[in-house]
Structure 1
Amino acid sequence: MSGDGDSSVAEVVERELQLLSPAGRSSRALAEQLLDPEFTEVGASGRSWDRQSMLSALPVMEGAADDGPRYVPSEMTGTVLAPGIVHLTFETLLDGRRDRRSSIWRKLDDETGWRMFYHQATPVPDA
């Protein structure tokens, strides 16, 4: 990958890391900037989320408190699927629990920038 693809993936990785941080999870204003209006998620629990339910829940979910457990991401890679569409895959560790994650980000215009359109988390079973 070269040129615009590299910068698109780098921007999306930066935004994904913001959503994983306590600051990103506890700030509704920041989360509103990062989640697409049509956002959906299938969580590690199997629960389906839409944008409004996620915005309400993020501040009280694990990983939102400065003094609590934090997400530790690893193996984050991204692929540009089409202009304005990036797919990220990675793993997270949070308080001893590992999940495999997949996010699709889209950029509709330069004003709003990259926003998470879809996310899925799948628990990694103990070895």
Structure 2
Amino acid sequence: MNGATDDVNQAIAGELQLMDPRVRASRERAARLLDPEFVEVGGSGRRWTYESMLAELADHPGSSAAGPHYEPSKMSGVLLAPGLVHLTFETVLGERRTRHSSIWRRSDRSADWRMYYHQATRVPPGAD
């Protein structure tokens, strides 16, 4: 496996972990996957920061073992530069389908990949 493929696969593994209800329900586990400079623009248009996301993630849909879970598909990624991966994918959560774009980075201070940026866009019913 070449370095670019390995980096993309590590970012994908992190993305999948963030969809796991056990990780979403744990501030400590989620904090290890989000970059301290994390920013998200959610499907609602709300802007999230590292602190606001960690404060509320456990209450978001997909965070309960008893509730609906994220079903990802069409996940792919590209190495943009050393230590920087861009992922795109879709999810279904209950009846809601969403398209996602995320940027994962690995800093010189850490060997771990962390989500730096995330954008979610809801897909209207019937849209391709």
Same fold per TM (> 0.5)? yes
Tell me which residue corresponds to 1:59: 58
Q: TM-score, normalised by structure 1?
A: 0.96
Q: For residues 17-53 of structure 1, what are the alpha-carbon distances to aligned partners after superposition, in whole Å with 9 as ceiling and x for unaligned?
A: 0001101100111111000010000000000000000
Tell me which residue corresponds to 2:40: 41
Q: For residues 75-99 of structure 1, what are the alpha-carbon distances to aligned partners after superposition, in whole Å with 9 as ceiling and x for unaligned?
A: 0000000000000000000011000
The alignment yields a C-alpha RMSD, in angstroms, of 1.1
Identity %: 52
One-letter code of the match for 2:55? S
Q: Unmatched 5+ residue regions in structure 2?
A: none
CA contact (8 A) 1:33 1:112 kept: no
Tell me which residue corresponds to 1:16: 15
Tell me which residue corresponds to 2:121: 122
CA contact (8 A) 1:81 1:87 kept: yes
**Structure 1 Cα separation of the partners of residues 109 and 41 of structure 2:** 27
Q: For residues 57-80 of structure 1, what are the alpha-carbon distances to aligned partners after superposition, in whole Å with 9 as ceiling and x for unaligned?
A: 100100000010000000000000
Does the residue aligned with 2:32 lie in a helix, a strand or coil? helix
Tell me which residue corresponds to 1:29: 28
Q: Unmatched 5+ residue regions in structure 1?
A: none
* Runs of 4+ residues deviating >2 angstroms: 109-112
Does the residue aligned with 1:9 lie in a helix, a strand or coil? helix
CA contact (8 A) 1:20 1:63 kept: yes
CA contact (8 A) 1:98 1:124 kept: yes
**Structure 2 Cα separation of the partners of residues 43 and 37 of structure 1:** 18
